[in-house]
């Protein structure tokens, strides 16, 4: 038969068990309820992190380009006047302007604009082609190339393919150690 | 007030009286109750044994409570019983044996009451035979329920049922209508007049047709019902072991009519230990369930918090790296700020991508070739990274469309417009593009 102390122990044990169950059920219910909102918040945060990843992906393209340029043996573009002189059919420009824009990491954007009063568009494009090839030799790319970034042509009446031509060539140059 | 608790172990029913002892073993086998004869040697200290308190040592009362709850009725049973008992309730043990509803929905319970002295005397008599029963059942109810079990009511049976157990010294009868127990009594063996009188007292009416179930060692030769009670007679198989069977089955498969008058201070120590163990085991399960719930809740919460903290850490690290300085803004604001910073930087550093972008030279050369092939006369042509414009004349509209297709293939979105017709019948056109998507 149960003695008083055994009954007391049983009662204590049951009380502890029921309290534990109630606490566990309450905590589980609270957690279950909070998990719903937490899951939604986690979803939002994952989406925000994915947005940052997408931004990082776009930014990485610039870094890759900078790294590729930095890896070239020479970081100065070819002399454009020398290129023009080497191309025998290239017309002489009536006007030449160059601007420089400082970029990060010691790089500079060189922008050369050439105006031709009366030239064949094909000859001017031939000059641009030579300028773009000036960064290459038989081993491949050795220096930053000139790139044609703008062409404006005003045709002369009755002379197809000839007229006033303006072109813009851009190249990057590393002027100094950053 | 204690009912029988169930159990999977085999049970022994012992019918010990008049110097004889009948033992039956009941056990579960494949979902059925299997009975077997046994001897007193089977009644070991470990065995689960049920014995009976004779009918003469207990009284039964149908008690109606003024409310519907059976639980509450059980709780107040002593108060409900106190009025109708011939002895003080403090000297008695009581048990509820059956439940039903009255016509007005109140709870009605069948109470079995026995004096402690009678219970002790029966236990002493059993101990003298080395029998220490776990359960002290009530003989009258045991006979009644076993009668229902072995001879269920049939549609053509009389309403009144009498389960009579014939012993050498007396006859015990349990009386009821259909399945409802009315009461039990004992009469001297062979005294049909006493039997008749006691039966009238239980049925409270004139004699009527009854189903007479004969059991006990003297079932074959015992006196039948008087002519007034004659209806149908059915003799149980192995009638001498009927009560022992009833006790074993009732202990093995306790139902609402199960009774244990050995309760409270008189409860069997082994039974008390079993019950205590079961109680503590149940409490242990409850405790374990609580702990599992707590651990699961804590684990789930911790996992979710850690996942969120790691996301926050990764987000901050990436935002700081992209912006180039520690970003104080949070979440969507931080994304907007970083996007703005990166866009501004990308605009500043766009020239770094220029050497790797497709050359305008290809488009310019192709445009010059197309113009020559289609006979176009270009007045004005502007090629840029973002826009292309062209004005000129063509011998046919298809020639202008060739130029438009060329520009479209380079990734621009050109619009070709037809200008006013000229005197020389050439088609004048203007080509413009929207800003290049880059």
* Tens of pLDDT, residues B372-421: 889 888 999 999 988 999 999 999 999 999 999 999 998 899 999 988 77
Whether the Cβ atoms of residue B186 and residue B18 lie closer than 8 Å to each other? no
Q: Is A48 left (phi over 0), alpha (psi -120 to 50) or beta?
A: alpha
What is the nearest CA distance from B423 to chain A, expressed in angstroms? 15
CB contacts, 8 Å: B311 with chain A: 42, 45-46, 49
The dihedral of CA A81, A87, A93, A97: what is its sign?
negative
What is the nearest CA distance from B169 to chain A, expressed in angstroms? 36
Phi, psi of A100 (to 5 degrees): -130, 135
Cβ–Cβ contact B421 with A under 8 A:
no
Confidence of residue A68 (pLDDT cuts 50, 70, 90): confident
Q: Which helix (H) or strand (E) holds B116?
A: helix B116-128
Whether the Cβ atoms of residue B63 and residue B78 lie closer than 8 Å to each other? no
The dihedral of CA B111, B112, B115, B120: what is its sign?
negative
pLDDT at B381: 94
pLDDT tens digits for range B134-154: 999 999 999 999 999 999 999
Whether the Cβ atoms of residue B339 and residue A103 lie closer than 8 Å to each other? no
Average pLDDT score over residue span B218-235: 77
DSSP-assigned letter for residue B352: G
Residue of chain A whose alpha carbon sits nearest to that of B303: A35
pLDDT at B311: 92
Looking at B320-376, which runs of residues are DSSP E strands?
none
What is the nearest CA distance from A60 to chain B, expressed in angstroms? 10
pLDDT at B164: 93
Average pLDDT score over residue span B262-275: 86
Within 8 A by CB and 6+ apart from B119, the residues are: B53, B57, B93, B136, B261, B262, B266
B227: pLDDT strictly greater than 70: no
Mutation for testing the B interface, residue in A53, A56, A62 having most B CBs under 10 Å: A62
Confidence of residue B1 (pLDDT cuts 50, 70, 90): very low
| A113 DSSP β-pair partners | A97, A168
Q: Residues in chain A, how many?
A: 178
CB contacts, 8 Å: A17 with chain B: 283-284, 286-287, 290
pLDDT at B72: 86
DSSP-assigned letter for residue B2: B
Percentage of residues of chain B with pLDDT beyond 70: 95
B8: pLDDT strictly greater than 60: no
What is the nearest CA distance from A140 to chain B, expressed in angstroms? 14
Mutation for testing the A interface, residue in B355, B374, B399, B407 having most A CBs under 10 Å: B355
CA distance B154 to A87: 124
Average pLDDT score over residue span B203-207: 76
> Which residue in B74, B22, B18, B30 sits closest to B50, CA to CA?
B22
- Tokens 């059993």 correspond to B126
B177: pLDDT strictly greater than 70: yes
What is the per-residue burial (b if ≥16 Cβ within 10 Å, else e) of B49-82? Answer: bbbbbbbebbbbbbbebeeeebeebbeebbebbe
Phi, psi of B209 (to 5 degrees): -65, 135
Q: What distances in angstroms separate CA B306 from CA B300, B301, B302, one per listed residue?
A: 10, 8, 6
CB contacts, 8 Å: B354 with chain A: 147, 149, 170, 172
Helices (H) and strands (E) in chain B, counts: 10, 17
Average pLDDT score over residue span A154-178: 85
The dihedral of CA B326, B331, B333, B335: what is its sign?
positive
Average pLDDT score over residue span B161-178: 92
Tell if the CB–CB gap between B318 and A56 is shorter than 8 Å: yes
Interstrand relation of B232-235 and B377-384 (parallel, antiparallel or unpaired): unpaired
pLDDT at B125: 93
CB contacts, 8 Å: A28 with chain B: 293-294, 296-297
CB contacts, 8 Å: B350 with chain A: 62
Entry pTM: 0.57
Which among A27, A49, A104 is the nearest to B311, CB-wise?
Answer: A49
**3-state SS assignment for residue B413:** coil
Confidence of residue B264 (pLDDT cuts 50, 70, 90): confident
A156: pLDDT strictly greater than 70: yes
């Amino acid at each position: 038969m149960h003695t008083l102390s055994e009954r007391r122990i049983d009662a204590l044990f049951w009380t502890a068990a029921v309290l534990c169950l109630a606490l566990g059920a309450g905590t589980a219910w609270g957690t279950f309820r909070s998990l719903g909102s937490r899951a939604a918040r986690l979803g939002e945060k994952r989406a925000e992190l994915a947005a940052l990843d997408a931004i990082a992906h776009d930014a990485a393209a610039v870094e890759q380009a900078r790294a590729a340029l930095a890896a070239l043996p020479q970081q100065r573009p070819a002399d454009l006047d020398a290129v023009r002189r080497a191309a025998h059919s290239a017309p002489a420009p009536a006007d030449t302007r160059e601007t420089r824009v400082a970029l990060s990491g010691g790089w500079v954007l060189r922008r050369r604009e050439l105006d031709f009063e009366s030239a064949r568009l094909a000859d001017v494009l031939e000059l641009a082609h030579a300028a773009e090839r000036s960064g290459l030799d038989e081993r491949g790319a050795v220096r930053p190339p000139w790139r044609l970034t703008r062409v404006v042509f005003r045709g002369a009446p009755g002379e197809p393919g000839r007229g006033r031509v303006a072109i813009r060539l851009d190249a990057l140059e590393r002027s100094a150690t950053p | 007030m204690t009912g029988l608790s169930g159990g999977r172990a085999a049970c022994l029913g012992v019918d010990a009286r008049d110097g004889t002892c009948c033992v039956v073993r009941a056990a579960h086998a494949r979902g059925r109750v299997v009975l077997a004869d046994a001897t007193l040697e089977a009644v070991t200290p470990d065995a689960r044994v049920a014995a009976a308190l004779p009918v003469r040592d207990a009284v039964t009362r149908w008690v109606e409570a003024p409310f519907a709850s059976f639980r509450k009725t059980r709780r107040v049973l002593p108060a409900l019983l106190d009025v109708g008992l011939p002895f003080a309730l403090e000297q008695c043990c009581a048990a509820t044996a059956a439940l039903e509803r009255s016509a007005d929905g109140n709870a009605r319970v069948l109470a079995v009451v026995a004096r402690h002295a009678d219970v002790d005397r029966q236990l002493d008599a059993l101990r003298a035979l080395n029998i220490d029963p776990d359960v002290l059942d009530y003989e009258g109810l045991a006979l009644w329920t076993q009668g229902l079990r072995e001879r269920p009511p049939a549609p053509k049976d009389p309403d009144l049922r009498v389960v009579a157990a014939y012993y050498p010294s007396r006859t015990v009868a349990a009386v009821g209508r259909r399945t409802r127990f009315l009461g039990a009594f004992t009469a001297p063996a062979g005294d049909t007049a006493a039997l008749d009188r006691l039966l009238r007292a239980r049925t409270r009416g004139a004699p009527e047709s009854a189903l007479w179930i004969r059991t006990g060692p003297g079932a074959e030769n015992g006196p039948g019902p008087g002519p007034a009670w004659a209806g149908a007679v059915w003799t149980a198989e192995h009638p001498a072991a009927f009560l022992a069977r009833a006790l074993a089955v009732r202990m093995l498969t306790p139902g609402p009519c199960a009774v244990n008058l050995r309760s409270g201070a008189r409860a069997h120590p082994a039974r008390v230990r079993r019950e205590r163990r079961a109680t503590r085991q149940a409490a242990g399960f409850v405790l374990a369930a609580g702990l599992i719930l707590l651990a699961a809740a804590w684990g789930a919460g911790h996992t979710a918090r850690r996942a969120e903290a790691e996301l926050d850490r990764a987000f901050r690290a990436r935002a700081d790296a992209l912006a180039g300085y520690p970003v104080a803004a949070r979440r969507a604001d931080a994304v907007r700020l970083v996007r703005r910073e990166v866009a501004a930087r990308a605009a500043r550093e766009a020239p770094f991508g220029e050497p790797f972008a497709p050359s305008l030279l290809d488009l310019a050369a192709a445009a010059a070739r197309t113009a020559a092939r289609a006979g176009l006369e270009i007045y004005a042509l502007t090629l840029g990274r973002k826009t292309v414009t062209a004005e000129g004349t063509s011998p046919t509209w298809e020639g202008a469309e060739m130029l438009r297709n060329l520009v479209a293939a380079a990734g621009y979105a050109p619009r070709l417009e037809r200008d006013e017709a000229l005197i020389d019948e050439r088609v004048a056109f203007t080509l413009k593009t929207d800003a290049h998507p880059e």
